[in-house]
């Protein structure tokens, strides 16, 4: 089976981006490099690039396994113990995001509901789909704001953490993982390959958000917790997974249909940077109450995507399982509870607008 040239071209551009970012010692080089390279190449050359969704799904499955394999009974107890903290941090993040969305709406004069949905940190694809489902919502604005949030987070957070500005990473966490994954029986490799594939399929069947990631993550974690130790992934597989995901995200960046981007962009960037700063503050607060490194806490509270924050956690030797737990809790909370609220908000806003229009018409007729 021959791959179309557009896919091959995307792969070459992604590789070049990864090598350049790696040469420049930019953190998360094999995710951010392909992302930036494909986005810039597509926008400057106007060429039609392609990257199948299946490639992204394979990358997500690998990252799901990586996160799931880090779970232990100790971290599961910590997760149970920290559930109130997860709830509070999620509510604070959503509340701050709503505030930022309101300020963006006021400053850039965009549609209120579109601006609010665009600011909710519930996953790029999920929020875009929700925006498309609600009548009168500008899906382009939602996509623009969600994409910018993702870009700002995954470019700024790895850079800050990679510079070591938050102090030293925790080498003990890595040492434990390495010692546990040594000298594993041969059968665990096909077992976990099967687990990842089944996890992805089950995730899609029960309609989990980002099923190729969450399905393998949850099923892998379950097998690890019952005592089947997961083998450590070679670095080239993790690097390949980052390329598969990074290239896909880069090609999603298409704002040619957005007419007021010049006015919207500065407000969106400022709101995204404020959200990152707020996440750092929340991460610091967590370390005051729980025995967690600042690296782990920041990545747990930053709304940048489960896969992206998980890869960053792997790069800076943070606790993968705790990062995944906080991120999963936030995403599931938002996806199950926020859509009904947003639908109610839309109906309220639309009905109030109709009342205002009717009142204005009545005033005109009186005059």
Whole-structure pTM value: 0.74
To which residue do tokens 């892998």 refer?
Answer: 220
User: Could you read off the pLDDT of 123-182 as tens digits, one per residue?
Assistant: 665 676 566 666 667 777 887 888 788 778 878 888 787 666 566 555 444 444 444 444
Rounded to an integer, what distance in angstroms lies between the CA atom of residue 208 and that of residue 198? Answer: 13
pLDDT, tens digit (0-9, with 9 covering 90-100), for 303-343:
887 877 888 888 888 888 889 889 888 888 887 787 778 77
How far the first Cα of the chain sits from its last, in Å, is: 73
The count of other CB atoms within 10 Å of the CB of residue 170 is: 17
């Amino acid at each position: 089976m021959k791959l179309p040239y557009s896919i091959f071209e995307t792969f070459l551009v992604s590789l070049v981006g990864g090598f350049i970012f790696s040469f420049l010692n930019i953190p998360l080089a094999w995710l951010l490099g392909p992302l930036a390279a494909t986005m810039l190449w597509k926008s400057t050359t106007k060429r039609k690039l392609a990257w199948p969704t299946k490639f992204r799904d394979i990358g997500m499955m690998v990252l799901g396994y990586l996160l799931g394999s880090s779970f232990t009974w100790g971290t599961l107890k910590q997760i149970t113990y920290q559930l109130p903290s997860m709830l509070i941090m999620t509510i604070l993040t959503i509340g701050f995001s709503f505030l930022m969305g309101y300020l963006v709406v006021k400053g850039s004069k965009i549609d209120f509901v579109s601006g609010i949905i665009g600011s909710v940190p519930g996953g790029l694809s999920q929020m875009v789909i929700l925006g498309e489902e609600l009548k009168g919502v500008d899906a382009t604005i939602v996509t623009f704001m969600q994409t910018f949030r993702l870009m700002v987070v995954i470019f700024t957070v790895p850079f800050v953490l990679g510079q070591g500005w938050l102090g030293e990473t925790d080498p003990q966490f890595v040492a434990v993982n390495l010692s546990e994954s040594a000298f594993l029986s041969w059968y665990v490799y096909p077992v976990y390959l099967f687990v990842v594939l089944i996890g992805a399929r089950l995730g899609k069947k029960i309609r989990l958000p980002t099923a190729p990631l969450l399905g393998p993550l949850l099923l892998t974690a379950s097998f690890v917790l019952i005592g089947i130790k997961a083998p450590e992934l070679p670095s080239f597989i993790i690097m390949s997974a980052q390329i598969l995901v990074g290239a896909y995200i880069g090609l999603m960046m298409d704002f040619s249909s957005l007419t007021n981007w010049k006015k919207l962009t500065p407000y969106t960037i400022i709101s995204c940077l404020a959200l990152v700063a707020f996440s750092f503050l929340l991460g610091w607060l967590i370390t005051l109450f729980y025995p967690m490194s600042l690296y782990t806490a920041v990545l747990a509270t930053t709304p940048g995507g489960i896969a992206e924050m998980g890869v960053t956690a792997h790069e800076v030797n943070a606790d993968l399982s705790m990062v995944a737990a906080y991120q999963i809790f936030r995403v599931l909370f938002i996806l199950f509870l926020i859509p009904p609220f947003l639908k109610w908000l839309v109906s309220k806003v639309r009905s109030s607008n109709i009342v205002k229009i009717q009142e204005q018409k009545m005033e005109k007729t009186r005059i």
